[in-house]
Structure 1
């Protein structure tokens, strides 16, 4: 669906805004809204302005992860329908209309329209668009990294477009409808991505524990994590096929340098497809000695993350482009390759069965995996020719699923770009939505509990 431009435009006189419809006005924010400093009532609860544009009682979203003030000095009252600007987080989108009565810290600018002809919902959309487009950050008032201070003294002086009251309402209703529709499509694609990931994991897990022949005789593996496995496969542990298991050196972060010609692989360099991203890894100038020889990566080495957020992630190294080493958060497993092919072992360790084993090994107070945990990970191996068949099958299947996931991710990106462009065009008057007809059942902004995250 496309919408026409307005029939006539004029120069707004505002650099960031450019041309606006000829009948629109422009005014400073302080002539559209009054700043409020209400007292706090005993029954008032904390209202939070979130970065997704929702302004609601904190308890409606979550109660953890916040710092509660011991003394609520300067706290102010907020009422449903107030325009709220978070002075410290506005740059990230923390601007919206409150759906609740309550109280907030003085870091919020609480604003009410000067007249019924000013819609807080329209201006929440407009100001949040400006923030996410970098306007707030460009003011460069703050001292925090990636942030700016956007207090009322700054916000009040900004020139903003002023459509007619009817247009403000129409634009808001139009955007409520269109963004809700786009968000539903985004959720569908995101759900598809999750299903594809689950399917990918299921395909891998089945192939490395049951094989490709659905009629093959099975036997009890004797290992809880593996269950029944093909009768002719050998059940063992990683240490039975490894010639060498080690972890990375400590203290090597001192040797990191952009001018280094060697690669220092960290847990984040292990991708989701049992590969190693050497290209984006940090560079290092390694010290000479046994530590370097012990932790140098060879082609075919299996890497397992043993600490941190990526614990359990697995990769199989190709031939590094230059000398490469693991850091202390990684384990390196070098296989004897007589009975075990690296990629098969990599797929096996990344399967849900072995990932469950790794999760249980970290149960309780224990954080991360030890080298003994990696060595003792259960492994079931078919003959090498069958490992090759399984690897070929998994490459074909995972590549197909990965392509579908990439297509879905691209669809999400396009939908989000469309959403952003639509908001920008509507709130700045680049498209004329006066002829848009509101579908039956869509509530007016004043009737909604909260304008959808703008």
Structure 2
């Protein structure tokens, strides 16, 4: 049955604020009139293993960073084919769905849905169900006690409304978004490369300064210059707003390539007893105990931390001996290439997906220890030299975030008919030509080249 929003609201009075003001010639249909659930199981378990990424949709698991262990066998897992809609039932509320581009197998906890007829262009359907407005629909239809445990059932999904523009408009929308996303991807790649180049400039200047003071300096094991190493703890996080008097645990993302992110917090139960010694303070030196190969052993100095915050068990707090090592110099020293090589070698025997560093690994790092006066000189000089670079990096980060927000809003407005792109799309090249044209190798570009590319 095809119906307008007015009829739908008579059956669900509290439903669908995102469907107001859609074009009059567009239709609205319940998903069950357009598609049906399918449940075909693998007999061999040898098909390509797929997963759902909140940022990329349905992708091969080999191309995604998934920390969960693989099963011993995938016999009996669900099969999907190109153009099937795949929904991670436990993460639908967080954009855990998308249209498959490949044939493969997915978890038995996933829902797989196939169109009865080609009512919706698969690419348009993918844009629609992953758009910001549709997140409201996915959230209210997922059921459960905690947000992180909400589940989307077949019945709840098949009762959801789908927008159905005329077929020619669907094709136009897909063409326009392919072109727009290619342009945005180019700008985002440029901003990311710019940030990487700026960070490399900071590292290069730090290496030079440390090299200048390292000549003749002792090179003991890091353990000699540390008073102690403390490891955090990880109680179960809880849902809801963080109360002023409530303890919060600092997640792994709080240590981000030498920068402390004070907002990477999760509230914990008021019943959990936190040892007061674990509370974080500005000036603490943190090191990640586990992360990807490139990020394990990352360090940052705490700044602007919320009171009653502590670190998770994936983060260490390093307490230097004040007579041998300053915190600010240590944060610079531990990110130099010489130390990074040692850290990655020490973590090499751990899991490939989430390598770990032990306290013994950290204490065994060989480092140079110039005088405290020389350490302070390095810190002050580097701060002065890199101040404009840091300002440019902050600006690039803000622009990167704005680009992501722009993409979300653009897709939302186009797939819901708030922006009519039919006239614009007439003058755009085909999607494949656009994608090829926009591919840019950023690896060999200078800072100036990338800054020019990023202007959109």
**Matched-pair contact (CA < 8 Å) for 2:78–2:107:** yes
Secondary structure of the corresponding residue to residue 130 of structure 2:
helix
* Counterpart in the other structure of 1:55: 58
Deviation (angstroms), 1:164 = 0.9
- 2:380 equivalent to 1:378: no
- 2:138 equivalent to 1:136: yes
* Distance in 2 between residues matched to 1:149 and 1:261, nearest whole Å: 28
2:413 to 399, 417, 425: 425
Post-superposition CA distance 1:96-147 (Å, at most 9, x none) = 2222334545544433334344323222221222586343122241456424
What is the 5 A alignment of 1:302-381?
303=285, 305=287, 307-309=289-291, 312-313=297-298, 329-336=316-323, 343-344=328-329, 346-360=331-345, 364=349, 367-370=357-360, 373=363, 377-381=366-370
1:181 to 180, 183, 194: 183
**Matched-pair contact (CA < 8 Å) for 2:82–2:99:** yes
2:429 to 434, 440, 443: 440
* Distance in 2 between residues matched to 1:434 and 1:416, nearest whole Å: 24
* Counterpart in the other structure of 1:118: 120
* Distance in 2 between residues matched to 1:181 and 1:15, nearest whole Å: 30
Deviation (angstroms), 1:420 = 0.5
* Distance in 2 between residues matched to 1:314 and 1:238, nearest whole Å: 18
Aligned length: 401
Unaligned runs of 5+ in 1: 1-8, 212-228, 445-454
What is the 5 A alignment of 1:78-93?
78-93=80-95
Deviation (angstroms), 1:32 = 2.0
Post-superposition CA distance 1:327-352 (Å, at most 9, x none) = 99433223237xx7664455334433
**Matched-pair contact (CA < 8 Å) for 2:132–2:408:** no
* Counterpart in the other structure of 1:193: 195
* Counterpart in the other structure of 1:245: 227
CA RMSD of aligned residues (A): 5.0
Change (3 A) 1:341 1:265: same
Deviation (angstroms), 1:176 = 1.9
Secondary structure of the corresponding residue to residue 150 of structure 1:
coil
Deviation (angstroms), 1:358 = 4.8
Deviation (angstroms), 1:190 = 1.5
1:149 to 148, 151, 154: 151
**Matched-pair contact (CA < 8 Å) for 1:84–1:110:** yes
* Distance in 2 between residues matched to 1:33 and 1:263, nearest whole Å: 43
**Matched-pair contact (CA < 8 Å) for 2:40–2:78:** yes
Q: TM-score, normalised by structure 1?
A: 0.68
**Matched-pair contact (CA < 8 Å) for 2:326–2:372:** no
Change (3 A) 1:152 1:203: same
Change (3 A) 1:438 1:34: farther
Post-superposition CA distance 1:293-319 (Å, at most 9, x none) = xx99999x8846485558745566899
Which of the two has higher C-alpha Rg? 1
Change (3 A) 1:427 1:402: same
**Matched-pair contact (CA < 8 Å) for 2:29–2:161:** yes
**Matched-pair contact (CA < 8 Å) for 2:29–2:163:** yes
Deviation (angstroms), 1:378 = 3.0
